[in-house]
Amino acid sequence: MSKKTPVHFPLSIVVGEGKLILDAATAHPELAPRFKPGFLTGANLLLATVKQQVTGQKQKRGNVGILSQAQLDEIHDFQHLVHAAKETAKLAFKGQDVLLSQEFYVGVNTPNDLQSQLARGRTVLDSLQLAANADAIAGQGWTADETTALTNIIASIEGDKTLLEKAKGASLGSTGERNASADSLYAALKTVQNAANLQWPESDPANAEVRAEFRFATFPPKHSVADEPVPPVPPPVTTAK
C-alpha cells in the first residue's frame, strides 16, 4: 500500500550530506533558473525538520532502551499501519479537512507517548470501519486485510501489560512521519544533483571541482539506496533579447 522509502541509510548521513549539497546550490545562483520558485527554501526547511528528528531520536534512545527489539518492531508496525490509513483517508476524502482531522487525526501527531498513539489509532480504526467511509476507503486500495492487521496489532499492544509499563513516559516518534520527511529531503537533494549535473556535465574535466561541491561521489552512499527516477528539472529560463 505505502511506497517503500528510498532512504536505507542513517538519517544523519542525509542531514550531513544534505547541508553540503544545499549550501552548494545556494552558493551557485546560476542554478536558480532550474528550480521552481521557493524550491531551495522548502528544501532547507525539510533539512531542518529531519535534523530535528535525528536529534530527537538520540534523546529518546535512553527512554526506549528497555523495550525489546520485538516490542519496538511491533510498535513501528502499528505506527506504519496508522500512517498508511491516514494517507489513504487523505486520498479518499480530499479537501474534507474537518472529517480528516476529527475522524482520522490527520495533522495530529502529539502527544507522542504510546498510550496517546494507541488512542488515536483506535479512533482511526473505528473511522475505517464506519459504513459511511467504507466505499471511499476501499476505492483507494485499502482492504479488509489492512483493517484486520490494525485491529490485531492494537489488541496485541494493549494486551501486553509489560510493554505498556516499559513504554510509560517514552516519546515514540512516528516512523511514517520520519520516513515522509526523509524521503522528501532525499528527493530534493537528488533534484539539486540532477540540476548540477545538467549545468556542469561530468564529460567536461573542467567541471570536476564544482561537481565535487555537490557530493556526487558520496551521496547517495553506494549500495545503500535503490536509485529512483529523479523528477525532471526544467531547463534554464531564457530571456528574450
Give the per-residue pLDDT at 229.
43
Alpha helices in the chain (DSSP H): 11-27, 39-64, 69-92, 97-104, 114-129, 131-138, 144-159, 161-166, 175-199, 208-212
pLDDT over 90 percentage in the chain: 53
Angle at 215 between CA 209 and CA 220, to 5 degrees: 155
Average pLDDT, the chain: 82
Residue type, 118: L
Cell, residue 150: 490494525
Q: At what angle do helices 69-92 and 175-199 cross, to 10 degrees?
A: 70
Q: How much is the average pLDDT of 129-153? A: 95
Q: How many residues belong to the chain?
A: 241
CB within 8 Å of 198: residues ≥ 6 apart: 34, 233
C-alpha torsion angle, residues 37, 200, 183, 3 (rounded to 10): 110
- 73/26 Cα distance (integer angstroms): 39
CB within 8 Å of 132: residues ≥ 6 apart: none
Give the per-residue pLDDT at 57.
55
Confidence category of residue 8, pLDDT binned at 50, 70, 90: low
| Beta carbons within 10 angstroms of residue 80's beta carbon | 19
Q: Is the pLDDT reported for residue 117 higher than 70?
A: yes
What are 36-61's pLDDT values in tens digits? Answer: 999 999 999 888 888 877 665 554 54
Confidence category of residue 168, pLDDT binned at 50, 70, 90: confident
- Give the three-state DSSP class for 237: coil
What are 85-101's pLDDT values in tens digits? Answer: 999 999 999 999 999 99
* Residues forming beta bridges with residue 171, ordered by sequence position: 113
Cell, residue 182: 526523509
The closest of 110, 84, 106, 82 to 93, measured between CA atoms, is: 106
